[in-house]
A and B are shown apart, each in its own frame.
Chain A
Amino acid sequence: MADLSPLLPAGIYDLLPPEAEREASLVSKLLATLSAHGYERVEPPLVEFEETLLSGAGTAMATATFRMMDPASHRMIGVRADMTTQIARIAATRLGLAPRPLRLSYAGEVLRTRASETSPERQFGQVGAELIGASAVAADVEVIALAAEALSAVGVKELSVDLTLPTLVPSLVAVYGLGEERAAALRQALDHKDAAAVKEAAGERASEFARLLGAAGPAAAALAALDRLGLPHSAAAELRRLAAVQGGLEASMPELKLTVDPVENRGFEYHSGISFAFFSRGGAGLGELGRGGRYEAGEPEMAEAATGFTFYTDRLLATLSEPRPRPRLLLPLGTDRAVAAALREAGWITLAALEPAKDWRGEARRLRCLYLLEDGVPVKIDA
């Protein structure tokens, strides 16, 4: 017999009891909220031809994607590293004639060639929603509020939403006429919020970018600070939109904590407008619970305005406290089937004994059952 080893490739894990069950229940609760708001479920495949998987918004995921040769077509296929592009493809093609705005939801596993430094997982679950063919401020407000509602419904505490404008810095760089090389250095310095490096890279625009960096923080104060900066016309229009979204969220979900970060861009490269990331103070060390934002769905010449979000189920599971397990009840050999069914109906998890035992209480303990059925009544076993 070949040696069986529990070792798996780096960043690839088994989910065991009770985590596997917790994950399944988390995913179904998230999807229930999305579905109740009219977001219909679609299920794209695990693999696609790389041209479609990595086109448009998918370009950003090219280096993260596992690829292989399809022996049937002799074409390259990629394993999805993200599901948003797949949803955009479905919306542009097979659901191209469905009325807009199109509301779609999805859940599935993705695979990435590289893990991030702080989270080693290369395979993890995503749950998300996309709102395609809607450019109104109300659409931005709807998806952020929907995400917040779904997170709160699964028990995420002290949720904080960071609103970002990934297009702001590129537009400022263009207006100020900074060269390509300096723009790249500046971009990197801003990603790290490295004030010293920003000063060096921005040159004569150092004070503008330092003030932009300093404006990040709680939403109302940040927007006021950004307003005072007197940014060029194109940037000011983006900011007005951000303020409108913030106002809409404050009106519909006054308890939601909002921050604004005008320079955040890393990982938002394909976004074309207001974007956002979800954090929970309870799981601060774990990083983001999910993110999303505006992007262009479909072929460039007939792209549609779209926005949406993705949750990472592994991060969510780590943030949420473990629910109390439902008690398990051992049914001794020969328990009546109707009695057992009635107990399950009442919420018990029943384990039917398959062989006679001398010590039923000992047998219940061995099988992690807190209760044993004695004379038709569940009796608690002393641990």
Chain B
Amino acid sequence: MSAGLILALPRGRILAEVMPLLRRAGIEPEPAFEDPDSRRLRFSTSEPLLELIRVRSFDVATFVAFGAAELGIAGNDVLMEFDFSEIYAPLDLDIGHCRLMVAARAEAAEPEDPRRWSHVRVATKYPEATRRHFARKGVQAECIKLNGAIELAPRLGLCRHIVDLVDTGETLRANGLVEIEEIARVSARLIVNRPALKTRPEEIGCWIERFRRAVGAPRG
């Protein structure tokens, strides 16, 4: 059992918003962290008892749920998809804002009573959240799990609807899709492994507090 803590960060675009926040919380990663040629996955920081790992956004939740990392940063889209009981999300980091949306081809978007559909086929990265959303409306959703380029699916006849993260809506429009319905507003959260919070409340509480102050601090 290591004495330190591990913070799991998501790879990709969100990292550009996470880094300034990390610095405002007083965490300076070692130089290799921002070296695009580095093949390493685990990094030390200016805090002797805090290490960083960089993994896919969905895997942040998995690492934290199993206690392999005590802390992590993940969007509530990921948390909705997994619904892990061993993850707490005590702080909204107010970054990575976007929306989880249902979208469809413009010609398929005319208003109709969705309860009359026998089923709907949806391409998405979020099959669980999608199924639950449609089930609440009394619609059986048949989900096709894709890992990217979701917007292509309706155009190629894979499905009529998609559920995906939407930021400006530019990608949707470029692919002839329109927004139908918002499932949830998404932002990045500081997440914590439940047993870790119970057994190390002082250390973890201290990090939650540092991030809370960083979220409130002026950005510059």
Contact = CB atoms under 8 A, between A and B. Distances in A.
Interface of A: 116-118, 158, 160, 162, 191-197, 199, 213, 216-218, 257, 259, 261, 266-267, 277, 279-288
Nearest to A194: B89
Contact of B1 (A118, A196, A282): A282
Contacts of B195: 279, 283-288
A348 to B, nearest CB: 34
15 contacts: A117-B82, A117-B84, A194-B88, A195-B91, A196-B76, A196-B187, A217-B205, A257-B199, A267-B85, A277-B198, A279-B198, A280-B199, A284-B196, A286-B195, A287-B86
A34 B196 CA distance: 28
Contact of A160 (B1, B67, B198): B198
Interface string B188-220: 010011111011111001000000000000000
Contact of A195 (B86, B90, B193): B90
A192 B79 contact: yes
Chain B at the A interface: mostly helix, strand, loop or mixed?
A: mixed
A259 B198 contact: yes
Contacts of A193: 88-90, 192
B79 A194 contact: yes
Nearest to A160: B199
B76 A287 contact: no
A197 B76 contact: yes
A18 B82 CA distance: 35
B189 A194 contact: yes
A195 B198 contact: no
B118 to A, nearest CB: 27
Interface string B36-78: 0000000000000000000000000000011110100000100
B89 A158 contact: no
A201 B76 CA distance: 15
B100 interface: no
A283 B91 CA distance: 25
B87 interface: yes
B199 A196 contact: no
Contacts of B88: 192-194
Bin chain B's interface residue count: 20 to 34
A205 to B, nearest CB: 18
B86 A117 contact: yes
Contacts of B66: 118, 285
A192 B199 CA distance: 17
A259 B195 CA distance: 12
Contacts of B68: 285
- The binding surface of chain A is classed by DSSP as mixed
B127 to A, nearest CB: 15
A280 B198 CA distance: 9
A284 B1 contact: yes
A267 B194 CA distance: 14
Nearest to A283: B195
Contact of B86 (A118, A162, A194, A216): A118
Contact of A285 (B87, B193, B202): B193
Contacts of A194: 76, 79, 88-90, 189
Nearest to B209: A214
Contacts of B28: none
Given A118-B65, A284-B193, A279 B85 contact: no
B142 interface: no
A285 B63 CA distance: 10
Contact of B92 (A196, A277, A281): A196
A257 B200 CA distance: 10
A44 to B, nearest CB: 27
Q: Indicate the member of A191, A192, A266 with the most B CB atoms within 10 Å.
A: A192
Nearest to B87: A192
Interface centre among B187, B195, B202, by most chain A C-beta atoms within 10 angstroms, is B195
A158 B76 contact: no
Contacts of B1: 281-282, 284
Nearest to A217: B201
Contacts of A199: 92
Contacts of B189: 194, 196
A266 B66 CA distance: 18
Residue from B83, B84, B85, B91 whose CB has the most chain A CB atoms within 10 Å:
B85
Contacts of B82: 117
A288 B201 CA distance: 15
Contacts of A158: 199
A197 B83 CA distance: 13
A84 B201 CA distance: 30
